[in-house]
Amino acid sequence: MTRREAQEILLSCRPGREPADDPQVTASLELTRTDPELGAWYEQHRAWDAAIRQKMRAIPVPADLKYEILSGRKIVTGPAHWWTRRAALLAAAAVLALLLTLAVMLLKPRHSVPDTFAEFRTNVIAIALREYKMDLQTNDMGQIRTYLAMHGAPADYVTPPATDKLKLVGCGVLKWQGKPVSMVCFEDKGARGIWLFAIKAAYWKDRPGTQPEFQKVFSCPAASWSEGNIIYVLAGDTKEPELRKLL
Amino acid sequence: MGSRPDFEVLVDRYYAALFRFALSLTRKESDARDLTQQTFWLWARKGHQLHDPGKVKSWLFTTLHREFLQGQRRSTRFPHHELEEVPEEIPSVPSTMVNDLDAGIAVECLGRIDPLFQAPVALFYLEDHSYQEIADVLGIPLGTVKSRIARGIAQLQKVVLERQKGRRS
């Protein structure tokens, strides 16, 4: 283990409360005892942790907030922000929907987001990274296929052979331009998320070929390929060589 | 499995922690207040659907985070920027530098790190959430929680260092 790897592991731990059952953490802590430079860094990190924690917990809370919540005052009188103006928004949305329906019939507007494979790939990976929620949590691929089929998403996908070495954790159904997208979720040995997306779409000009093509989307490596009438994207919170091993 | 907690007890127990989490996400007091109230309002309407009283805390933080994300989604598209890896050189920040910060500036510094890392780091520092609880609140795997906390803290340290250097020059 290198000094840098140890630092990265220790950054995610609460100093003084490191998990005793994690061999990587134990090895990192051992290194702080044998590597003076790392030891000094860790001492300073412990002090940083205590100081920043104390600052964050000192964020003042408005004195009347509890009263407002309990009295439901702002909720009753009409909130001022987007997440609480539901009723007004719903009414406005109903009127808008009516107008839009008429406009669609007359103008047939195009989607604001280009319907390309590149946009699709970026969008689904962004969703997995930022709002990752599984609709079904199970390690049973049969249940996953049934669930996806019930929700109109591709269920006859072919998983890359080496993904059977990963832990299957569940699935979700996403939407792209109104079309259902299957998201099959795995975890690697480090419990990092790996996602296989599958969509039935044959019309994209920039659709990938049958051999996997690799790109980096945000910080994630992603592999894309077509097989039959399904287009696949395999991406994960991992490094590209690790992803390549799965294909 | 215990009984359902009384609303007032629940507010008393969690409103401050929820407000601080909301402020770390929105960085505006008025928005954080509304988000906290909205969370309890949703609890009042839907909390009865939760069968396990042991998961109330997780439900509240998950709901607040989801409401925040929904608001974000309405107003912005996903930004197309690269996420930063952990910097080559992990900075070492003297604790005296942190002592110079007040809570407001600490939140401001947190707001300058990548949005993807803000919530995990806030939950890591604000409350004694376990890694599993953070994973449940954010709906991401355990390993991802740890790597996002590590990356987020490294970014936060960089922001604090740069801020302090800027003040000196």
Contact across the interface for A52 and B107, Cβ inside 8 Å = no
Measured between CB atoms, which of B67, B101, B141 is closest to A55?
B101
Give me the sign of the Cα torsion angle B143, B148, B151, B153. Answer: negative
DSSP label of A245: T
Query: To probe the interface with A, which of B26, B129, B146 has the most A CB atoms within 10 Å?
Result: B146
Find, in chain B, the residue whose alpha carbon is nearest to that of A9: B150
Contact across the interface for A69 and B147, Cβ inside 8 Å = no
Q: How many independent structural domains does chain A possess?
A: 2
Full residue range of the structural domain in which residue A71 is found: 3-107
Angstroms from A21 CA to nearest CA on chain B: 14
* Helices and strands per DSSP (H, E), number in chain A: 9, 7
Which chain B residues touch A53 with a CB distance below 8 Å?
125
Could you list the pLDDT tens digit for every one of the 169 residues in chain B? Answer: 455 568 888 899 999 999 999 999 988 888 899 899 999 988 888 887 887 878 899 999 999 998 888 777 554 444 434 444 555 566 677 767 777 778 888 888 888 888 888 999 999 998 778 888 898 888 888 888 888 898 899 889 888 888 877 766 6
Same domain, A94 and A126: no
CA separation for the pair A183, A206 (Å, rounded): 21
Which of the listed residues A49, A75, A107 is the one where a domain comes to its end? A107
How far CA A44 is from CA of A11, A37, A146, B73, B97, in Å, comes to: 12, 11, 52, 39, 11
Same domain, A140 and A219: yes
Q: What does chain A come to in residues?
A: 247
Angstroms from A102 CA to nearest CA on chain B: 23
Q: Which residues contact B72 (CB under 8 A, 6 or more apart)?
A: none
3-state secondary structure of A137: strand
> Residue B15: in which H helix or E strand, if any?
helix B7-26
CA separation for the pair B110, B123 (Å, rounded): 12
Contact across the interface for A55 and B16, Cβ inside 8 Å = no
Find, in chain A, the residue whose alpha carbon is nearest to that of B36: A69
Which chain B residues touch A9 with a CB distance below 8 Å?
150
Measured between CB atoms, which of B15, B124, B149 is closest to A65?
B15
User: Chain A neighbours among B 31-70 (CB < 8 Å)?
Assistant: 31, 33-38, 40-41, 44, 67-70
Q: Does the structure show a pLDDT above 50 at A157?
A: yes
Which of the listed residues A63, A85, A107 is the one where a domain comes to its end? A107
Tokens 């936060």, located at residue: B156
Angstroms from B144 CA to nearest CA on chain A: 5
Convert the pLDDT of each residue in A207-233 to its tens digit.
899 999 999 887 789 999 999 889 999
Which chain B residues touch A192 with a CB distance below 8 Å?
141, 143-144, 147
Which of the listed residues A87, A107, A127 is the one where a domain comes to its end? A107
Same domain, A103 and A139: no
Same domain, A89 and A138: no
Same domain, A144 and A67: no
Contact across the interface for A188 and B156, Cβ inside 8 Å = no
Same domain, A183 and A146: yes
- What is the average pLDDT score of chain A? 82
Phi, psi of B56 (to 5 degrees): -60, -45
pLDDT of B1: 45
CA separation for the pair A177, A180 (Å, rounded): 9
Same domain, A103 and A122: no
Quote helix, strand, coil % in chain B, to nearest 5.
75, 0, 25
Convert the pLDDT of each residue in A117-153 to its tens digit.
988 898 888 878 766 667 888 889 999 999 999 999 9
Q: Is there a contact between A185 and A191 (Cβ–Cβ < 8 Å)?
A: no
Phi, psi of B98 (to 5 degrees): -70, -35
Q: Which residues contact B105 (CB under 8 A, 6 or more apart)?
A: B163
